[in-house]
Amino acid sequence: MHAAARIRAISVGDETALPVLAGAGPFDLRRHRPQGNQARVCVLGVMSAPLGGDRLRIEAAVEPGAHLHVTTAAATIALRGATPGHATYDVHLSVAEQASLHWLPEPLISAARSNLRQSCTVDVAAGARLVLREEQVLGRAGEPPGRLTTRLTVRHDGHLLLDQQSAYGPDAPGWDGPAVLAGHRAAGQLLIVDPAYAEDPPGVRLFGDDPANGQAVLTPLAGSALLVTAVAPDTLHLRRLLDAVRRVHPC
């Protein structure tokens, strides 16, 4: 299956309008009640995807002065398909000047024998704000994970801010060792780009007192941004860690 979804947000007076809200295949885009000048969209999965061989893509463009909040209704589960080939799930986001985007999907679950390559590419203009959360769960309850490769590439004001790639599951060296997940089964990150950090950048900080329940580390990035990287035994503990960071750094 080849399918794509597109979202475009524009500023109209004191509100944000959505002139483009188009889904296909597994993507059903639902407009929710706005909060102030922020438009809100929920992505519903209306069929099992991604499966082996699928090619999925989501694009969201936030024009100057617009504000957009995007969530998903449930976790995305990568499953084994009828073909042995890998699936791809590509996300392309752009945030223009004086605009903001909250991209907060539910976790991605890598089910046994699945094979998914996921990428997220973001362009953030100077003066724009971004809050982006990614969460990966390695295997459903009682099962090993499939193959999962993720890559996050972020450019801020035309300059590379972050480019990192992770690989988990069979054939990925060391993914379950002490240098990566250390036996945990959930990994996630929270990226916040905010012009306010240019004047008052946050310091490095560790979240989580008990390594058995997961830990997260906050690291400031060049370009008015911070990155939080977390590992935990499950999605519940992972979300608690990331939410703890957001309470300290409201966004």
pLDDT value of residue 179 = 84
Over residues 42-50, the mean pLDDT reads: 88
In sequence order, what are the beta bridge partners of 110?
Answer: 78, 138
Q: Which domain holds residue 39?
A: 2-184
The Cα 61–Cα 168 span in angstroms is 30
DSSP category for residue 107: P
Query: In the predicted model, is pLDDT for residue 83 greater than 90?
Result: no
205 is a domain residue: no
Measured between alpha carbons, how far is 77 from 203 in angstroms, rounded to an integer?
35
* Torsion sign across C-alpha atoms 133, 69, 198, 202: negative
Q: Establish if 143 belongs to a structural domain.
A: yes
Beta bridge partners of 61: 8, 94
Q: Is the pLDDT of residue 171 over 90?
A: no
The answer to whether position 168 is within a domain reads yes
Domain count, the chain: 1
Q: Is residue 151 part of a domain?
A: yes
Q: Which pLDDT tens digit goes with each residue over 119-133?
A: 999 999 999 999 999
pLDDT for 251 beyond 80:
no
Whole-number Cα distances in Å, 180 to 30, 92, 131, 173, 208: 36, 26, 24, 10, 17
Say if 64 falls within a structural domain: yes
Measured on CA atoms in the order 98, 105, 132, 207, is the torsion positive or negative? positive
Q: Is residue 247 part of a domain?
A: no
Identify the residue with better confidence: 153 or 209: 153
- pLDDT of the residue at 117: 96
Per the domain annotation, does 141 fall within a domain? yes
H or E element: which one contains 102?
strand 100-104
174-201 burial, b at 16+ Cβ within 10 Å, e below that, comes to ebbeeebbeebbbbbbbbbbbeebeeee
Residue 95 is which amino acid? V
**pLDDT for position 200:** 86
Residue 204, pLDDT score: 94
44 falls within a domain: yes
